[in-house]
Amino acid sequence: MCDTSTGLQIFYLLKIAFQILCIVLPIIIIITMTISLFKYVVGSEEKIIMPNIKKIIAALIIFILPSLFGYLFTNFNGNENDFMNCFNIATPEKVKALQEKEKLEAEQEKAKQDKENKEAMEKAAASDEEERQKQKKLAEDWAKKYGSGSCLRFDQYEGDGTVKSQFSTKTLKIVEEHLNDFDYTNYHTIVPDVGEYITSLGGVFADYWDNDEIEVYSASELQKVSEYVFGLMYIYGFDYWNGYHSNGHYCKWGGKCTYNCTDSEHCSVTSSGTADAFYTGSYAYKDHGLSAKNDFDKLISGDNMTVNCNWAVDMVFYKAGIFGENGDWQGGSASPTAMAKKFGVIESMEDYEVGDIVHFFDHTVDRGDYTTWSGWRHVAFVGEVDKEEGIITFYDGGSYFTNTRNFKWTAKIDDSTTKLHGYSGWGVVRVRELAQDC
Tell me the β-bridge partners of 218. 435
Neighbours of 137 (CB within 10 A): 12
Neighbours of 39 (CB within 10 A): 13
Q: How far apart are CA 159 and CA 127, in angstroms?
A: 48
Q: Are 10 and 1 in contact (CB under 8 A)?
A: yes
Q: Give the single-character DSSP code of 349.
A: G
pLDDT band for position 139 (cuts 50, 70, 90): low
Average the pLDDT over 406-434 and give the result.
96
Gap between the terminal Cα atoms of the chain: 72
| pLDDT of the residue at 148 | 45
Q: What are the distances in angstroms from CA 332 to CA 214, 366, 424? A: 18, 22, 23
Q: Dump pLDDT digits (tens) for 50-108.
A: 666 776 777 677 667 666 665 665 555 555 456 667 777 778 888 888 888 888 888 89
Residues found in the chain = 438
For residue 420, pLDDT beyond 90: yes
pLDDT in tens, 298-351: 999 888 899 999 999 999 999 999 999 889 999 899 999 999 999 999 999 999
Q: Which of 65, 104, 98 is nearest to 84 (CA)?
A: 65
Taking the C-alpha atoms of residue 346 and residue 335, their distance in angstroms, rounded to an integer, is 16
DSSP 3-state assignment of 358? strand
Decide: 358 and 369 in contact? Cβ < 8 Å. Answer: no
pLDDT tier for residue 14 given thresholds of 50, 70 and 90: confident
Q: Taking 60 as the threshold, does the pLDDT of residue 289 lie above it?
A: no
